[in-house]
Amino acid sequence: MTKLIIANWKSNHNLQSAKDWATSVEGYLDSFRVNARVILAPPFSFLAGLRRIADRTLIELAVQNLSHQTAGSYTGEVCSQNLEGLGVKFAIVGHSERRRLFGETDEQVAQKVVLAINAGIRPILCLDEPYLQSQIQKVKAHFLENQINLEEQEMIFAYEPISAIGSGQNESAEKVSQVARVIKEAYGARCLVVYGGSVNAENISDYLAVADGVLVGGASLQADSFIKLLSVLYK
């Protein structure tokens, strides 16, 4: 199965370095057949600048967050309508940094999932064990309320243990496999589960063996180190 390799830049880069990264990764993907879907989640401000690159290459665009509100008077928020025309296919929602630093709740994250789906954007819902069950229940309740059929959704979940993020303390593949099973039991076999937390070129293969892909922060920032990750999927 084609694996998902998701680059989460968080609040890093400027437009020029973002374009340079995309040109390097594009060059690699042009030259080598890689059995992966490469998804880049840059800061919102680079989306328009990267649009052309995403249009003509295999790099697909995601956002790192989405407002839990629809369009309106919400200064500083970016809602699904604001993304129209930018070629955004995926939205990371409920990242632990958003929950921890910006007070996002299970309720708001469930609202974001629904708004993304209604806008034709595929959510990548980040989960960790402390809120795995409560978040799953909240999303199910919102699906019911909004008449969204769970079975028809190809949800993507990112299992991201907080202790593993940016720490070098990557979770064991056994644990990832166990949590992926729990998520698939709750959401049906159609959903995809990726792992995130200190993924690098040395450990990526362990996760690709037990999950549908990886969500990469630190090791995605420089084109060289990201290409090293991709080279594992060279066929």
Residues marked as catalytic: 95, 160
Q: How far is the CB of 146 from ligand PGA (least distance, A)?
A: 27
Of 25 and 199, nearer to ligand PGA (C-beta) is 199
Indicate which single residue of 160, 171, 206, 212 sits in contact with ligand PGA (rule: CB under 6 A).
160
Q: How many Å apart are CA 106 and CA 156, to the nearest integer?
A: 16
Q: For residues 94 and 143, which CB has a smaller minimum distance to ligand PGA in the complex?
A: 94
Beta bridge partners of 192: 156
Q: What share of the chain is helix, strand, coil (3-state, %, to 5)?
A: 45, 20, 35
- For ligand PGA, which is the closer residue by CB, 87 or 218? 218
Show Cβ contacts of residue 210 under 8 Å, excluding neighbours closer than 6 positions.
Answer: 173, 174, 176, 177, 180, 195
User: How many residues at the interface with ligand PGA, by CB under 6 A?
Assistant: 13
Q: How far apart are CA 104 and CA 184, in angstroms?
A: 24
In the stretch 199-228, what mask flags binding to ligand PGA with x, by CB under 6 A? Answer: x---------------xxxxx---------
User: CA torsion sign, 169 to 174 to 179 to 184?
Assistant: positive
Closest separation in Å from C-beta 141 to ligand PGA: 26
C-beta of 22 vs 217, nearer to ligand PGA: 217
CB of 194 to ligand PGA, least distance (A): 10
Rounded least distance, CB 157 to ligand PGA, Å: 13
Instruction: Count other C-beta atoms under 10 Å from residue 67's C-beta.
Output: 19
What distance in Å separates the CA atoms of residue 208 and residue 200, rounded to the nearest whole number?
12
8 binds ligand PGA (CB under 6 A): yes
Answer yes or no whether residue 165 interacts with ligand PGA by CB under 6 A.
yes
Under the criterion CB under 6 A, does residue 197 sit at the interface with ligand PGA? yes
Report, in angstroms and rounded to the nearest whole number, the Rg of the chain calculated over CA atoms: 17
Residue in 33, 35, 166, 209 binding ligand PGA, rule: CB under 6 A: 166
198 binds ligand PGA (CB under 6 A): yes
State the SS3 of 60-76.
EEEECCCCCCCCCCCCC
Residues forming contacts to ligand PGA in the complex (CB under 6 A) are 8, 160, 165-166, 196-199, 215-219
